[in-house]
Amino acid sequence: MSNDLVTILDGDTFVVSDRRGDIEASLTDPTGLFSSDTRFLSKWVLTMDGQPLNPLSVDDLQYFETRFFLVPGTGTVYVDAKLSVIRRRAVGGGFHEELTILNHDDEPIDLTTRVEAASDFADLFEVKDALEKKGTYSSRVEDGKLLLGYERQTFRRSTVISATAPARIDEQGLTFDVHVEPHGAWTTEIDVSATILPAENVGARPVPAKKRRREHMEENLERWLGDAPRVECDWEPLRVTYRRSLVDLAALRFSPPITAGKSLPAAGLPWFMTMFGRDSILTSLQALPFTPELAATTLRVLGLWQGTRVDDFRDEDPGRILHELRSGEMAAFEERPHSPYYGCADATALYVVLLDEYERWTGDKKLVRELEYEVRAALNWIDEYADLMGNGYVSYQRRNEKTGLENQCWKDSWDSISYRDGRLPGFPRATCELQGYAYDAKVRGARLAREIWNDPAFAEELEKQAASLKRRFNRDFWVEEDEYFALALDADGNQVDALTSNNGHLLWSGIVDKSKAKAVVRHLMGPRLFSGWGVRTLAQGEGRFNPVGYHVGTVWPFDNSFIAWGLRRYGFKQEAAQIAAGILNAAAFFDGRLPEAFGGYEREATKYPVQYPTACSPQAWSTGAPLLLLRAMLGLEPVGDHLVVDPKLPSGIGMLAVLDVPGRWGRVDAFARGTIDFNARSGLHPELGAPEQASARRR
């Protein structure tokens, strides 16, 4: 999101405006009031005596509330306004705006204050792809309210606007005749309610974000922050980043109707405020040591939506975990397959991985028993439906040729999978990390079967399959001459031999032979992949490398957090600390909020991380990256009913403590001490590190 835009959100409802608080959206502009994948306001412009206002500052009170401080234009370079304006806006079921005009003069003032309002009711896909609407619009005044409506057969959406102060309301907005005494104030409250009720009942049950709701949201946030572990550290930017991550994760919580108030992570602003299988799973994995309840809800909800049939339009198979769920107009009329869409090849294996990791942390065997059918169906999907080439590897090829995703791995842009010379392979494609996830799912599924489902025969079969997959993978994907794993196998079984960050996901999954791990790490930390800030998605020198290409050279914080976790798994603690240092240093440049991606330029060349122009922010798995990096730096691992701490801190951090870590052990404090390079206190320098001291204390 642009720094010139201001966003507040609550679940899948969010408002994006300029720094005046105004909304003037074109079809492809992501500003407006959005809810349930629909834009309910595309115009919301405040004027006084026909003139727009100038912004002084914006106060981001909370993720769900902000204040805009404004003055009229003076016609000079100096602002010496006789009046000022405060717009205080809170989101929830629409939004609630308190408009206050302050008179700083010794004389009374009379103003004509106008709020222009309109809605294009654009589906989020229509905003992204500049598509035209097919329904009919309405605008009318009724019972002192402005009612904006849209209807296409049974699909109906409405926006209801009302104010507490007397107003002249017409079909384009509200006009207030304002009189303010000397040094006095005038105020009104405006409610904007988004509703999917039928048009004839549009005014029946608005849900405004009034003060009581705002207070409830404040209490909810304080409770969320209070339940999370506390981080103590002598490097202040890390504490700032940690709190920013917790707050953004709270902002991105999404509660589908079937969850009874429980929440899971939505993927990110502005395009992805909904449930994504892969994103919700990976974010829940990152957050497990801090907010394990996200994982439980994610597992239950994705299990309820698990595929049950073969449906080519939605790329659905029995046992497959969904990719994306939408509730807008285009999904309703099957102009997009997202009701839900199942076109991802990794979420199904990752579902099994998350359940096992969740049980290892929490000891919640009840949920493992509850989801036994879903996990068995997911494991069956890997063998029965995902092996498109008949070679024992998970591969993908979309069946919905019109609107389905070409690449169904996490690097899902069109040019992300390529040979070293830049050519694109045909389909099906079997990317390397998919095999790692499948291997990990089989190993973890075997543990669940043996220890909780009491099915040793199934466990033994899964372990045999995993061992066979690992053996074949290390033979078929290994680029012998250069000693790294190919990005993929093509439809003919040939290596798609680009060098990518996917090698780090292989370490995390455990599929890499120990004899090959050192060579893989040498590439990950070498100058072609490691920029100094983090590991690039694609190595310098590859045919499609571009430091600001979405998946072909940028640095993704989420990607790096899992790479760091993988490095820890194979014993490369120093390298994991180096990854953590680079990403956390980058976070300080973004005020603690890591974006979806940033430029893959060499650190020495730029001295700061270069913004990627259209990166989502906040984005769930970028928000979760600092949490997983904390786990990697401290070496936190559950072993039975105990939490093991095995830290390696970057130089520059002398002390790090995570207090009240929740898990099957109750609550535990984890401490680590490192070394401080007093010549480099402005940043973290892992190459200067020394042995740490560690301890864990049960509460």
Nearest in space to 502 (alpha carbons), one of 556, 563, 419: 563
From residue 11, give the alpha-carbon distance in Å to each of 59, 64, 433, 526, 532: 21, 10, 31, 41, 35
Q: What confidence score (pLDDT) does residue 681 get?
A: 42
User: Phi/psi at 206 (nearest 5 deg)?
Assistant: -65, 155
Taking the domains of the chain in order of start, what are their residue ranges? 6-216, 228-241+249-698
**3-state secondary structure at position 24:** strand
Q: What confidence score (pLDDT) does residue 292 get?
A: 95
Average pLDDT, consecutive stretches of 10 residues, N- to C-terminus, the chain (699 residues): 76 89 85 91 96 91 91 65 93 92 95 96 81 88 95 93 97 97 96 73 41 72 93 95 94 76 78 86 97 95 96 97 90 88 97 98 98 98 97 97 94 97 98 98 98 98 98 98 98 98 98 98 98 98 97 97 98 97 96 94 92 81 97 96 95 94 95 67 52 62
- CATH code for the part of the protein at 228-241+249-698: 1.50.10.10
Residue 126 near residue 136, CB atoms below 8 Å: no
Q: What confidence score (pLDDT) does residue 690 get?
A: 43
Q: Please name the residue that has the structure tokens 């990976």.
A: 282
Q: What confidence score (pLDDT) does residue 679 get?
A: 43
Alpha carbons 438 and 397: distance in angstroms, whole number: 17
Q: What confidence score (pLDDT) does residue 210 get?
A: 52
Strands (DSSP E) found in 556-618: none
Specify the length of the chain in residues. 699
Q: What confidence score (pLDDT) does residue 220 get?
A: 87
Q: What confidence score (pLDDT) does residue 203 get?
A: 36
CATH topology of domain 6-216: Beta-galactosidase; Chain A, domain 5 (2.70.98)
Q: What confidence score (pLDDT) does residue 270 get?
A: 67
**Buried b / exposed e across 44-66, counting CB within 10 Å, b at 16+?**
bbbbbeeeebebbebeeebbbbb
Helix (H) or strand (E) holding 23, with range, is: strand 23-24
**3-state secondary structure at position 40:** strand
Q: What confidence score (pLDDT) does residue 93 get?
A: 82
Residue 70 near residue 156, CB atoms below 8 Å: no
3-class SS letters over 78-109: CCCCCEEEEEEEEECCEEEEEEEEEECCCCCE
Query: What angle do helix axes 573-589 and 557-569 make, rounded to 10 degrees?
Result: 160
From residue 569, give the alpha-carbon distance in Å to each of 79, 433, 572, 578, 649: 59, 16, 8, 15, 16
Alpha carbons 181 and 315: distance in angstroms, whole number: 65
